[in-house]
Chain A
């Protein structure tokens, strides 16, 4: 079926089998491989993207649902080759180890970043509690997100 939507600020249109997930669509049809598949069941959060300003696990969103929506992936948040402040702060905080959870983690943080309010550390932790990381023990990730959110003031 034909699905039209906005992907990383560009209007796109594609013919996609209706059983495809958003994850498979962005990886296999659009070739955007920054979004990772860790479980394909909405349990690990590695495939998190932002859809209509909310963080979603793209593996649990069926392609037809995406019609008319705005989707932002990890490839869509840095501008002119500059890291987004979330990415910059995660790098500086030492929040990246194996990197496989990282794009999803960045997108969950981005969904906070675009909201017009402050977040406590506990709120940050809750917001990324659907993003599993096995490497870091989370502290540096929360530090990085916290730092990035503080720059909005």
Chain B
């Protein structure tokens, strides 16, 4: 029991028997189905929308457009630019225009066919590299949604002629979350309250969005997070849209409404990782010490800003990597195009820039005739160093330990030699090994500081069982199990005494979104602080009961220990209950403040996670096919509350990163549509594609985190693509500058070398 133990996940028995109810499994009497009528074009002006024939389809109960929106026709995320239901212009293929509610899905589909839309098609802007100041104006005068600049140290140093420099540009594509459960929600009225059950990461976002769209009182919009079948960022802000679509139907029709996206619709219209170009120049001295880095990061945001400002913030800050570089000049810009809005995806804007930096480091190593691991090792951030935002690293820097363990356990140096010998005699199969190092700013940082809070409640019943709640969700990552472990540790009892409530906005307190690897730390802060209030009351109660003063009271193995007393926890709770002691509490924790000034300087995040990856590959130089053989991934997580689940996050996240680097190839048509909108064309790694894993946990405790824990679950994805492409280079000498490393590109890169 307790923290540090690999207990079995508390939700796993229900899940493995198929008893867990996901949104699609909910059925209600009089329930209607909703489907969305969408723009067929990337960019156009709506001339006329004729719903008459569609409304006559048997079973159709209502069709709702912007005219039926009682509140703002906007889905608020960061800016108020995202239209809920298009009124005049459409800006991406699949943009919602109307929502149909009917008593069957078939009737909805029939009605969609009968809607007559007259639209004047406009020339779309699809090439994000041409978006800035384009004559097609999608946002403001210049199509730039947002911009960040990090100006650290003094770049005049690059004029020093003794420095070695290298420049290059790197491209990354869309990445689809590929959660196996598609987007969905059920909305119904209960007790005069519009109640929403949905698959989501951020119930409090949904509550706010629906409140604004329907112009209701916030307390009359109740959002319950249904068990969520994977999210990875893809259910951060977009459930605002999905839930609002079902909500407008239920609002007007006063009947339960279910909306479930089909896979093609989901992949065609929902957010993805931003495609990007990163230009980078790295300067080093002759010993391989990094002296300066200059970067330009251009993100394709799609049609609306949604989460882009926050995504760009993270990507810009993470560009220069976990290295001690005194002079950094990085600009990040995000521009508009007529494609579906891009948003949050595990890593949140950073895998793109990390791919660039970790690639150029290998190119620099080659130029200096150094080993890629050695050059990194020489430059890694240590305790007391400053990051590119001039933040002093005051605690919990487990980077060197993670890096060294990763190199040791992967047997990196021996393999470098061994593979070289192998490749000298092997004909077309070449073996390679590649390395990357990453850091991850934990939590929302300065860009999301207005939402940075942890609010928990706790209640102890007379039998000693405990109910706790906090406003972060379990979307499959295991948050509720980890929260129960921390509460159990704090009270010295077994987890089976603890219930962690499902997030329901009517009874659980807003703790911000479940994103930014902040689940564990937020849950710990909120719940432990609430439990501590109860503990203080019990302390006073025991002093009064025994008429003694007690310095400390310890809770351990079902016992409460104070002075010379050793009492059963359950007895103590019973005494306290009998005396009507208040055994419930709510608490709010505000995390350490973050900052980021106009020069991109400040405490960008309250703490950092650290990691290193080594990937081994086999490249077939005749076909360009790459097989991933082994991945060694070491991550400093502060404290692993549940080590087995931490390793589950490492392997799962790392495989998403390997898929991003190797095979996940989202194709966009000349009309802005995703051509690869299902799992037979957008291929993700299967059980036959994953490598031998060696997940390594490093625990450099974060003193301000619960039991020393910090967040990290995005980090496993972030550095895998460059570790993979560096490994490909090591195998065959082909440098991949545009991921995924599909066979065609691998062959091209080898030929480019010749």
Contact = CB atoms under 8 A, between A and B. Distances in A.
Given A92-B8, A97-B478, A40 B263 contact: yes
Contacts of B244: none
A98 B226 CA distance: 12
27 contacts: A31-B27, A33-B21, A37-B24, A38-B182, A40-B262, A40-B263, A46-B180, A87-B13, A90-B12, A98-B228, A98-B230, A98-B231, A99-B12, A100-B179, A100-B230, A100-B476, A102-B16, A103-B18, A125-B687, A126-B688, A132-B684, A132-B686, A134-B177, A134-B180, A134-B684, A138-B655, A139-B693
A74 interface: yes
A131 B180 CA distance: 10
Contact of A137 (B20, B22, B229, B652): B652
A133 interface: yes
A136 B650 CA distance: 8
Contacts of B229: 36, 98-100
B162 interface: no
B267 to A, nearest CB: 10
If over half of A's interface residues share one DSSP class (helix, strand or loop), that class is named, otherwise mixed; here it is loop
A21 interface: no
Interface string A67-98: 00000011100100001000100111010111
Nearest to B643: A94
B227 interface: yes
A31 B230 CA distance: 23
A39 B262 CA distance: 7
A99 B688 contact: no
B679 A87 contact: no
A38 to B, nearest CB: 5
A31 B6 CA distance: 35
B181 A140 contact: no
> Which of A34, A74, A97, A142 has the most chain B CB atoms inside 10 A of its CB?
A97
A41 B15 contact: no
If over half of B's interface residues share one DSSP class (helix, strand or loop), that class is named, otherwise mixed; here it is loop
Contact of A99 (B8, B476, B690, B693): B476
Contacts of A98: 179-181, 228-231, 475-476
A38 B734 CA distance: 37
Contacts of B9: 91, 94, 96
B19 interface: yes
B700 interface: no
B690 A100 contact: no
Interface residues of A, number: 51
Contact of B232 (A34, A91, A96, A134): A134
Interface of A: 31-41, 43-44, 46, 73-75, 78, 83, 87, 90-92, 94, 96-103, 106, 124-126, 128-142
A103 B180 CA distance: 12
B30 interface: no
Contacts of B665: none
Contacts of A83: 13, 16-17
Given A33-B25, A36-B22, A44 B180 contact: yes
Interface string B686-699: 11101001000000
Given A41-B263, A41-B680, A98-B475, A132 B16 contact: no
A128 B690 CA distance: 12
B423 interface: no
